[in-house]
Chain A
């Protein structure tokens, strides 16, 4: 056993990990293959002769999960700034009918109505603050993905900071004690 050349021992001892690495590699290869396969499938798929299917989205009921698509709407923004403000607003407002999705992500009709409302208010020259307040007045703090700073959210906003300060003080004490052992 001791006589085995270092190299061979090394190899023997690495072998399980080499196996893991090889498996990972195979996994990736398989990933590549399936991707290729999927692409081949796509290539094999042919245009259908029948009339172009009517693409009108099926009516989705408010109050139900809307499916797995993202709303895409070209809106007539007046400036890139307005567009940025719109995107920031709708991605920070929660869609109340959905399972944890923002207005920007949801295709639910209510989410669309609310997006249009936000857009209309932006065109109206209302401030971000006013638009958020508009939503809160109707749906409560629940719609804000950025919870307001208030009595009941103090722990949320300052908890991590306090925890950090406490931990740093703890660490300082530990190091200070361990310094004594140096001498």
Chain B
């Protein structure tokens, strides 16, 4: 029954989405109040049914209803309850349902929170456009990837959830990531509503800023969590692999980063309105593109979903429709005149324009590299692989200039400024960064190009952000607005991130060692002593566990227990890494294999990862900074009055 209930909820949500995507939009066009008033209740209903469908699926997983194919293939009787819940979004079908729920949630949030802020016509258009997007995903789910399909009679027990996904990090990574992807649908909706209305862009850009910031912050969080998960779960010790699936999430992130900066210019100065619209369209479109790349199997990736060309055709068609229509509308309606006040070469506008140039070009580079094997194949030039060496080299090349100029940005005035005035308050930071950076690198015994660049660059960014904070504190009598605080935090976060990358990429200790019972490895002041290798049992697995005692000098500092697990169902082998996280370095042990020469020795990988936490710490600061900036009261207050005034002056009905 529950499966049927979920199925019906999904269909009802589709019906409401169809109504939402048509009637209120028509109402907004004809200025029909009654039709427009439908939108919020439709959004609420749409959310309720999406939630009902999602809860149904979760319940099916919790109750082990193996007559549902999706449950039977992604869960079994031994799976603990928390992984049964996360298994709800572990498969292709379930993750689409999560996507739909998130979209419905964002729509509800916009309807509730912007009700008092936005003019009704505009809000209606935004909600209708998002409703149209929801139609596509609901149709996709119902027609090609129904999570409620039954098999009768059902098996006695299910197969297993992929052991890689049986992990706390995997419970939260997809929801955060989808919050980000789907969140860009809000910015997209605002941009389309703006184009449809043909109104002055400054308004809707201001209204959409907090939403874009939130989506960007979630996407940052989701990517960070994914990177962290890959680090401890794959037993490989890497934190970024430039796999097509990662790139698929990174392209919208890069464009989103450009977007939140260009929105600032358009809102404050009215400059680059068309470009901001285009970025909003591009950020969401590349999210759709990512969905296509991950689920169609067009590219070969390590962690793609079970792929299906038929689904690929559907998403591609959907993307062509959504993005094609948006870009056509853009071509027809986008503002063509340069608006706003003028600005000089040295000005905040130019600085943010530079940010946009470098981030957009980087996004283009990642897209080109990801799709280049397809181009080569299409041209009949053979087969090539584009991998990490290409992406890292190009990315560093493209990002270095903009990152080095970053601290100057906030100090630069709108309109016109002088380089000398900007640099004066930063000179101290620059000197400190160079001296301290080199000194720290030398003190850590890491006097190489990467580490020195990491330290000097990182300290330069952190000091730059702090000196901006100090200057603002001195100049204003009030508390700094959250928008400013968020920006400072995010920019400092980039510095923290760079230090982490510089150290990890140059100073990682990594060795594969042969370990027998009682063996000891001494490295970097640590002693790793293998006490024994035991067999342990978990709820749905059995494992060989290495029991290490780690000493620093003569002091025992920790016990580390890496495992090699064999999951009962599907008989999959997994490495469970033992980690001892630290502020300046992680200790990391992964089990290899028994060496099979009768000695009982194992191959064991030992890593010491310096400053690796700083990578995620910095990214986490970025995400928190984004949320903080989104919560700036400026976005949530008083605009109604201005907006209403403008609507009235345009001769439209007061909202």
Contact = CB atoms under 8 A, between A and B. Distances in A.
Q: Do chains A and B touch in the complex (CB under 8 A)?
A: yes
Interface of A: 9-10, 13-14, 16-18, 20-21, 24, 27, 30-31, 34-35, 37-38, 41-42, 45-48, 50, 52-53, 55-58, 67-75, 83, 87, 91-92, 94, 98-102, 105, 140-147, 152-153, 155-156, 159-160, 163-164, 167-168, 171, 174-175, 177-183
Nearest to B164: A68
Interface stretch (B120-128, B354-362, B419-427, B491-499): B354-362
A68 B438 CA distance: 40
A40 B342 CA distance: 63
Contact of A72 (B344, B361, B593): B593
A55 B343 contact: no
A105 B564 contact: no
Contacts of B575: 68-70
Contact of B510 (A21, A35, A58, A87): A87
A153 B390 CA distance: 11
Contact of A145 (B301, B387, B544): B387
Contacts of A171: 350, 353-354, 357
Interface stretch (B22-30, B42-50, B530-538): B530-538
Interface in B139-177: 163-164, 168-169, 171-172
A55 B384 contact: no
B232 to A, nearest CB: 11
A140 B169 CA distance: 38
Interface in B559-598: 561, 564, 566, 571-575, 590-594, 596
A179 B342 contact: yes
Contacts of A18: 631
Interface of B: 80, 82, 109, 112-113, 163-164, 168-169, 171-172, 214, 221, 234-236, 243-244, 271, 300-302, 304, 338, 341-345, 349-350, 353-354, 357-358, 360-362, 364-365, 368-369, 372, 375-376, 379, 381-390, 394, 398, 415-416, 510-514, 533-539, 542, 544, 561, 564, 566, 571-575, 590-594, 596, 602-605, 627, 630-631, 633, 636-637
A113 to B, nearest CB: 16
Contacts of A58: 571, 573
B12 to A, nearest CB: 26
A14 B368 CA distance: 41
Contact of A100 (B300, B338, B349, B353): B300
Contacts of B364: 160, 163
A105 B342 contact: no
B380 to A, nearest CB: 10
Contact of B384 (A45, A144, A180): A144
B368 A160 contact: yes
Given A16-B112, A178-B338, A182-B416, A156 B163 contact: no
B271 A178 contact: yes
Contact of B637 (A13, A105, A168): A13
A69 B235 contact: yes
Contacts of A91: 388
Nearest to B376: A152
A70 B590 contact: yes
A93 B104 CA distance: 44
A132 to B, nearest CB: 12
Contacts of B381: 152
A75 B353 contact: no
Interface secondary structure of A, over-half rule: helix
A35 B627 contact: no
Contact of B387 (A50, A72, A102, A180): A102
13 contacts: A14-B636, A42-B538, A48-B537, A55-B602, A68-B164, A68-B575, A70-B236, A70-B605, A99-B301, A102-B387, A145-B386, A174-B338, A182-B415
Contact of B633 (A13, A105, A175): A13
A142 B342 contact: no
B302 A100 contact: yes
B208 to A, nearest CB: 15
A140 B382 contact: yes
Contacts of A156: 368-369, 372, 386, 390
A177 B271 CA distance: 12
A45 B591 contact: no
B163, B350, B361, B596 — most chain A CB neighbours (10 Å): B361
Contacts of A30: 171-172
A87 B605 CA distance: 13
A31 B173 CA distance: 11
Given A152-B376, A152-B381, 15 more contacts: A9-B637, A16-B112, A24-B627, A55-B594, A67-B573, A72-B592, A73-B592, A94-B387, A99-B304, A141-B382, A145-B385, A159-B365, A160-B365, A164-B358, A182-B344
Contacts of A101: 302
Given A14-B633, A17-B627, A56-B596, A178 B214 contact: no
A167 B357 contact: yes
A18 B113 CA distance: 12
B604 A146 contact: no
Given A16-B113, A92-B387, A142-B385, A74 B513 contact: yes
Given A144-B384, A159-B368, A174-B353, A52 B544 contact: yes
Contacts of B113: 16
Nearest to B543: A45
B416 A146 contact: no
B442 to A, nearest CB: 20
A31 B169 CA distance: 8
Contacts of B365: 159-160, 163
Nearest to A172: B345
Contacts of A24: 221, 627
B523 to A, nearest CB: 12
A71 B612 CA distance: 22
B382 to A, nearest CB: 6
A145 B388 contact: yes
Contacts of A37: 82
B214 A20 contact: yes
Contacts of B513: 74
Contacts of B338: 174, 177-178, 181
A175 B350 contact: yes
A38 B234 contact: no
